[in-house]
Amino acid sequence: MKRLLMASALAGAMFANTAIAAEDLPQANDAYFLSAQQTLQQKLMEQDNTNQAKNIILFVGDGMSIPTVTAARIFEGQKRGVDGESNSLIFGQFPNVALSKTYTNDAQIADSAPTASAMVAGVKINNGTIGVSKEVSRGDCEAQKANPIKSIAAQAEERGMSTGWVSTARLTHATPAANYVHTADRNWESDSDLSDAAKAAGCPDIAAQMIAWNEGGDGFEVAMGGGRRMFIDKTMEDPEDSGKMGQRSDGRDLTKEWLKANGEGAAYVWNQEQLDKLDLTKTKKVLGLFDRSHMEYEADRAKDAAGEPSIAEMTGKAIDILSKNENGFFLMVEAGRIDHAHHAGNAARALEDTVALNDAVKEAMSKVNLNDTLIIVTADHSHTMSISGYAERGNPILGTSQGKADDDKPYTTLGYMNGPGALKDEVRSDLSNVDTTDIDFLQQALVPMSSETHAGDDVAIFAAGPWSHLFHGVVEQNFIYHVMAHASKIQDRMAAK
């Protein structure tokens, strides 16, 4: 306490000295100067939160590079009719920020499988693998069985906490799967995807592992996202898409198996109406599969035939259920389709989904107390989108920059290093009469590729709540797990149990 009082007194003296010195400067009354002085005072007043984190919420913007965050900040502000450049996303206001090094054990540029495992299990592993150690090469079923690693979700369940994962991608996709699966190949989502060698060696598919996940004796409490077809047989028609069938080839309906195993209080839902009608006073567990494959992009969600919840709505429902447990909870929320929009070279949809993630963070903050809840917002890897040119303040972030390129044609502020928007026949398209802000517009790219690639630059970590001050500087991605484990005292909880 004495140290804290001394630190506060020193901070006050520092600010007073700064203010006195500032009075003599000709820029002392400038609005930018005054705003920065106010920010300094706020920073000087901040104190580290060393409480135990009862709850942990890990938000992952899949492919949410730093340029994506910047562009989304401007985009969100411009949509609201305010100054986009000085706008702030809610997680951009978190007090603690670090950079995360995303390389993997075997790759300079990562995919989502090992990066998710790094965040939830604390080690770097090989591209294409999930929930196994670096000794496992992609596709090696025998090595998979011998080298599992344990996620923080599994540890939380063993310690009596509740667990859940929410994603706009398939629940069998790499990021959510890192919570519950051990697999040598991220593509083994259903039994039909398994290699002959994997089948012969008895390696289960990802969907089957999720349903069978029984850590702590009762498994997860919440799982909501896409990927219905991975859970039902190819002879079974999808409830939403007439004529479309499941993907499994083993005759199983994993949704029914999960309901039977979890009994009273468990609910399976596949559309917005069913989710809205859940009686949360009676519902103990929820499995929500809202699309055959990935859920809709946020920009297209309103057109979904059966109705899909937003990522914010799923996050809110998940917290309502998980927070019933007095022992606390772990929740991962993934905005999976930021990544997919970037792969398509479609910046508009990537930004819409990033803003939707921001809304989910707002929803979470309205339901928890940062005194006992650690919230982390980060990305698994980056993309090749850049922000360039000499656009004037207030220029639409999806628009063309001021001036023209050397070919005397306009160019957009946002562009990609590679992707489907690349040159055709080495001639760049003239954008003079093109609405580059249209939701379907593909930004121009340098290298022609059917799918834009990931990038290897560091991504940001934004954090608030207990022990979030440990996130500063440039850290390894697997450090995220270690902060979550330390903040929640997860090892101590095991000893107590």
Catalytically active residues are 112
Amino acid letter, 302 = A
Buried-state track 36-70, b at ≥16 Cβ within 10 A, e below 16: eeeeeeeebeeeebebbbbbbbbbbbbbbbebbbb
55 to each of 191, 218, 391, 492, how far by Cα in Å?
Answer: 34, 19, 43, 15
What is the side-by-side order of every strand in the sheet holding 445-448? 385-387, 414-419, 445-448
Quick one: tokens of 57? 């919420």
H, E, C per residue of 298-315: HHHHHHCCCCCCCHHHHH
* Rounded Cα distance, 237 and 246, in Å: 6
DSSP string, 329-384: EEEEEEETHHHHHHHTT-HHHHHHHHHHHHHHHHHHHHHS-TTTEEEEEE-S-EES
Smallest Cα–Cα separation from 276: which of 302, 332, 314?
Answer: 314
Q: 305: exposed, middle or buried (C-beta count within 10 Å: 0-12, 13-18, 19+)?
A: exposed
Q: 29: exposed, middle or buried (C-beta count within 10 Å: 0-12, 13-18, 19+)?
A: exposed
134 to each of 128, 381, 390, 485, how far by Cα in Å?
Answer: 11, 19, 44, 21
Rounded to 10 degrees, what is the CA torsion of 136, 140, 142, 145?
50
253 CB neighbour count, 10 Å cutoff: 15
* Rounded Cα distance, 108 and 456, in Å: 7
Task: Please check whether residue 43 is in contact with residue 96, taking contact to mean a CB–CB distance below 8 angstroms.
Answer: no
